[in-house]
Structure 1
């Protein structure tokens, strides 16, 4: 069986149709795939921070995380979003186990280099794959909240795309980012088109041109980072499109596939 790491962005979670969860469960029961979910929750975090009167800002698509913000992030991701996602999977006929990256030191982390600007935002240093395999052996789909912890017990807010990439690298998995758009867009001569294939150099160029902005920046960068390991395929998919996940695994041209420089791809 093959591992399939699926990152569900916070902006799309409330919109995903029941068919997405049915497809997910069908893959899990097929015997060919071992799906592992990593989720976000940005919009809900922002909403609660606003309600609490806590200021929130972003640097290159990453949320600046003070201790106060970190408490809210953990409350929303692990206490609310994670369990809602588990519930949706189970309502569609599957079985899921929701965990935080803090549980069992699943996602060991350290502060990012620019911690002076970002606060308690972490990068993953090690993934406890044995923990993931234990859940899969019990026929549950792991649903991971992207928080990490260091050897001193300090918790970190980890961008969901970054966490998903780290998990995919550790498992040598296929990596799929589920969004509410068709993929990476490029605007040329006033016409916007979806790029079905994109390389590391093209990504860097589009970021420089400010055609890739905001939360899409860590997503595409996490995709490239995944390819630096043993991740064979990385794709950004529209989870609202019927059967997009199934179509991708069947080799159909959907979403935006990310390739390392020098790799060939078929159009």
Structure 2
């Protein structure tokens, strides 16, 4: 199977046009690609935490997750956001199946290496790809919420970009990060330049120089991690652009393609 993992960020979800979902459904129905959606939901989580009066903070773009925050994370991601994406796909004639990483132990996780700072934030140790294949065999588009489960039943908040990279690694898939920007860019003397290709070392340099900041850091690091573990291609695309995923699959110069250092051509 030609797997395509599509990560939809929480910051862009509310504004994605109907045509975006239609493109995914058309890809699925075309039979050449098997799209799998992994989603985030950061702004909605932050909004609900504020309403509930629960404090929230971030370390290098990752949300510090207490037990109280984790309950809200799961409610927003696995409940509200997951079902909204399923509904959006069904509205344009698609068949979609929403599932959490907790269901059937789809995403198995352990505490993150800096758990003392981050709380219940997890690192993915295994993805049960057979569950994804079972959904695909039923001609459904899997829509995955990034909440993981530990060996003793402890749930973990998994950064959506990290979860998408882990799913892509397990499947040997191409990986698309959907954003509301044309890719990774820098501004110099009032001119915006988009990087159409970016190597591992170039990306790390841009993080060091603080050109890449905040929530883009885990996205870029997840892309790099994917490239070193079985992911064929990684791209950061603007979901607002018409058929950006299709253009990427056709080999067009769109978004920012992350490549291994040894493959670098030009930037």
Report the TM-score range of the alignment, normalised by the length of the smaller protein.
over 0.9
> Which residue does the alignment assign to 1:207?
207
Instruction: Provide, for residues 188-224 of structure 1, a one-character-per-residue CA deviation record: whole Å limited to 9, x for no partner.
Output: 3442211110011111111111110000000000000
Are the aligned partners of 2:176 and 2:237 in contact in 1 as well (CA < 8 Å)?
yes
> Which residue does the alignment assign to 1:102?
102
Partner SS for 2:263: coil
Query: In structure 2, what is the Cα distance between the partners aligned to 1:203 and 1:189?
Result: 21
1:139-158 map, 5 Å: 139-158=139-158
Query: In structure 1, what is the Cα distance between the partners aligned to 2:237 and 2:201?
Result: 21
Query: Quick check: 186-195 or 94-103, which moved more?
Result: 186-195
1:1-267 map, 5 Å: 1-265=1-265
What residue ranges of structure 1 are gaps of 5+ in the alignment? none
Instruction: Provide, for residues 94-140 of structure 1, a one-character-per-residue CA deviation record: whole Å limited to 9, x for no partner.
Output: 00000000000000000011000000000100000000000000000
Query: In structure 1, what is the Cα distance between the partners aligned to 2:178 and 2:117?
Result: 28
Normalization by structure 1: what TM-score?
Answer: 0.98
Query: In structure 2, what is the Cα distance between the partners aligned to 1:173 and 1:203?
Result: 21
Task: Report the alpha carbon displacement of residue 149 of structure 1 after superposing the two structures with TM.
Answer: 0.4
What residue ranges of structure 2 are gaps of 5+ in the alignment? none
Query: In structure 2, what is the Cα distance between the partners aligned to 1:266 and 1:137?
Result: 40
Task: Report the alpha carbon displacement of residue 266 of structure 1 after superposing the two structures with TM.
Answer: 7.3
Partner SS for 2:31: coil
Paired residue total = 267
Instruction: Provide, for residues 153-204 of structure 1, a one-character-per-residue CA deviation record: whole Å limited to 9, x for no partner.
Output: 0000000000000000000000000001111012234422111100111111
Partner SS for 1:262: helix
Query: Quick check: 209-218 or 189-198, which moved more?
Result: 189-198
Task: Report the alpha carbon displacement of residue 229 of structure 1 after superposing the two structures with TM.
Answer: 1.3
RMSD: 1.0
Query: In structure 1, what is the Cα distance between the partners aligned to 2:191 and 2:58?
Result: 29
Query: In structure 2, what is the Cα distance between the partners aligned to 1:65 and 1:180?
Result: 26
